[in-house]
Chains A and B, each alone.
Chain A
Amino acid sequence: MTEPALKEKVEELIRDNPVLLLMKGTPESPGCGNSMRAVAAIEPYGVEYAALDVLPALEPLRDATGEIADWRTFPQLYVNGELVGGADIVEEMHESGELGELLGARPSADAPAPTEPQAERPVTQSPPMQIDNS
């Protein structure tokens, strides 16, 4: 049974962020190899995305996402409110080009040579989230 408040909070994050990554650790410092793979697949597109570190409330968030999307492992990438997948799927879709279509962007490696200095890396937002484990 998931705490309703937590489930609602996750649903709100999914609804409010067009591209949302639930991951272990942060994009700058991923907490597991699979979360690192997901970040590495998304970053080349240069799209702004929200990242939430699930480690502070791992088990409650497993239960919440299990109920919301029938998926209990992390990372999880959501685009426009839909669960796209974990590291394997995101990586596979990056390689097939489907991820670019979904994100409406092209990976920087395929982009034409820039005529101006590269723009600064997009800022990723980590929505603050307080979990009461008591």
Chain B
Amino acid sequence: MALVDDVKTLIEEALPGSTVEVVDEGGGDHLRVNVTASQFDGLSLIDQHKLVKTAVRERSDTGELHSLSIKTATP
């Protein structure tokens, strides 16, 4: 599975009901994600980003995902 699809699936599974858009910013391992999720409601930006980073942690740790730029929003 391409990393782009994989990352999308991982975030959607971690944040059920979320809307996730993944954009390849270069080389297939520098990705940008736009995540809209009700789970972000009331959380600081740092905690919102942590939820996303935790969801893809296994891909970051292996080095497959080199760089992830995150933009979060609530519905």
Binding site for B on A (CB under 8 A): 34, 70-73, 83-89, 92-93
Give the distance in Å from the alpha carbon of A84 to the alpha carbon of B53 in the complex.
15
Q: Does B69 contact A (CB under 8 A)?
A: yes
Give the distance in Å from the alpha carbon of A70 to the alpha carbon of B60 in the complex.
14
For chains A and B in complex, what number of residue pairs have CB atoms within 8 angstroms?
A: 26
- Top 8 closest A-B pairs, CB basis? A89-B45, A85-B46, A88-B70, A88-B69, A85-B45, A83-B46, A70-B50, A89-B49
Q: Which of B49, B60, B69, B71 contacts A85 (CB 8 A)?
A: B49
CB-CB < 8 A to A89: which residues of B? 45-46, 49
Binding site for A on B (CB under 8 A): 45-46, 49-50, 53, 60, 67, 69-71
CB-CB < 8 A to B53: which residues of A? 71, 73
Which of A72, A89, A93 is the most central at the interface, judged by chain B CB atoms within 10 Å of its CB? A89
Provide the main secondary structure of the chain A interface. mixed
Chain A residue nearest to B67 in the complex (CB): A34
Give the distance in Å from the alpha carbon of A121 to the alpha carbon of B18 in the complex.
44
Give the distance in Å from the alpha carbon of A88 to the alpha carbon of B49 in the complex.
9
CB-CB < 8 A to B49: which residues of A? 85-86, 88-89
Give the distance in Å from the alpha carbon of A89 to the alpha carbon of B45 in the complex.
7
CB-CB < 8 A to A86: which residues of B? 49
CB-CB < 8 A to B45: which residues of A? 85, 89, 92-93
Give the distance in Å from the alpha carbon of A72 to the alpha carbon of B49 in the complex.
12
* A84/B46 in contact, CB under 8 A: yes
**A-B contact list, 18 entries, CB within 8 Å:** A34-B69, A70-B50, A71-B46, A71-B50, A71-B53, A72-B60, A73-B53, A83-B46, A85-B45, A85-B49, A86-B49, A87-B69, A88-B49, A88-B70, A88-B71, A89-B46, A92-B71, A93-B45
Chain A residue nearest to B48 in the complex (CB): A89
CB-CB < 8 A to A92: which residues of B? 45, 71
